[in-house]
C-alpha cells in the first residue's frame, strides 16, 4: 500500500503546485495593475474588465480543494486494483510475492474497507458539489450509487468471500476488473471505476473554468441588430 499513498501524495502536491501558480497569477494581477479607477482588491484583465480578486481567489481555492478530494477518491478506487494483484500471494524474503492459494479473506476485507471509505468521501463530495453545479453533483451521486452497488454485492457474496479460505477464483470474481468472470463484485467495481473516471473529467473542466475566469478576457457584448 505504500505505492498508493505515495501516488496520492504526488497528486495532492501537483494540485497544491497548481494553486501556487494561480495565486502567483493573482499576485501579478495586483502588482501590474496600475490603471486608474481600479480599487484595492480589484484587477483588470487585458480587455479592461474589472474582477474582484478576493472572490475569484476564494472560488479557485475552493475548486482546488474539491479537486484534491475527488483525486483521493480516484486513487482509492485504483488501489483496489493493486490489492487484486495480491490475490493468492504472500510476502517472502524477496521483492517478489510468493504463491499462497485460496487464503484471500483478509484481502477482500481490505478492499471492502477501502470501498466504505470511498463511499464516505463521495458523500462529502456530494455536499460540496452542489456549490458548483447540479451536473457535477449528479456525477458525484452516480459514483456514490456505484460504490454502494459494489458494497452490497460483496456483502451478498459473504458466504464465499467472508472467510479466511476465500478462493483465488472467487476473489478475482470480486475485485479483479479485468477478470473473465466478474460475478461476485468485479462488474460493480468496474462500474464504479468508469463513473469516477467521468467525474474526474468534470473536475478537470471545473479547474480549467476557474482558471479561465481569472485569465481569459470577458466576451465582447453583441451589437444590437436594431441599433
Where along the chain do its domains lie? Answer: 62-90+97-215
Mean pLDDT of 183-212: 95
Fold (CATH) for 62-90+97-215: 1.20.120
Query: What is the pTM for the complete model shown?
Result: 0.80
For the chain, what is the radius of gyration of the CA atoms?
Answer: 23
Question: What is the reported pLDDT for 146?
Answer: 99
Rounded distance between C-alpha atoms, residue 101 and residue 86, angstroms: 10
Is pLDDT larger for residue 185 or for residue 3?
185
Q: Which residues have C-beta within 8 Å of that of residue 68, sequence separation ≥ 6? A: 11, 12, 15
User: What is the C-alpha to C-alpha distance for residues 83 and 86, in angstroms, rounded to an integer?
Assistant: 5
| Nearest partner of 86 among 18, 176, 147, 150, judged by Cα | 176
- Cβ–Cβ contacts within 10 Å for residue 17, how many? 10
Residue 1 has pLDDT above 50, yes or no: no
β-strand pairing of 50-52 with 89-90: unpaired
Beta-bridge partners for 52: 42
Amino acid at each position: 500500500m505504500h505505492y498508493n499513498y505515495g501516488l496520492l501524495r504526488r497528486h495532492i502536491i501537483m494540485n497544491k503546485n497548481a494553486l501556487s501558480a494561480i495565486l502567483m497569477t493573482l499576485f501579478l494581477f495586483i502588482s501590474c495593475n496600475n490603471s486608474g479607477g481600479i480599487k484595492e482588491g480589484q484587477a483588470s484583465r487585458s480587455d479592461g474588465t474589472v474582477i474582484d480578486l478576493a472572490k475569484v481567489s476564494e472560488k479557485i481555492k475552493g475548486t482546488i480543494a474539491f479537486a484534491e478530494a475527488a483525486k483521493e477518491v480516484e486513487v482509492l478506487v485504483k488501489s483496489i486494483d493493486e490489492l487484486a494483484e495480491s490475490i493468492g500471494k504472500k510476502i517472502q524474503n524477496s521483492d517478489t510475492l510468493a504463491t499462497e492459494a485460496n487464503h484471500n479473506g483478509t484481502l477482500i476485507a481490505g478492499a471492502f474497507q477501502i470501498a466504505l471509505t470511498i463511499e464516505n468521501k463521495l458523500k462529502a463530495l456530494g455536499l460540496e458539489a452542489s456549490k458548483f453545479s447540479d451536473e457535477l453533483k449528479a456525477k458525484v451521486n452516480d459514483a456514490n450509487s456505484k460504490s454502494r452497488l459494489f458494497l452490497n454485492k460483496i456483502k451478498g457474496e459473504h458466504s464465499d468471500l467472508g472467510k479466511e479460505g476465500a478462493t483465488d477464483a472467487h476473489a478475482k470474481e470480486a475485485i479483479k476488473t479485468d477478470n473473465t468472470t466478474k460475478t461476485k463484485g468485479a462488474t460493480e467495481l468496474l462500474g464504479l471505476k468508469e463513473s469516477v473516471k467521468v467525474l474526474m473529467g468534470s473536475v478537470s473542466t471545473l479547474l480549467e473554468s476557474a482558471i479561465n475566469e481569472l485569465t481569459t478576457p470577458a466576451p465582447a457584448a453583441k451589437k444590437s441588430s436594431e441599433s
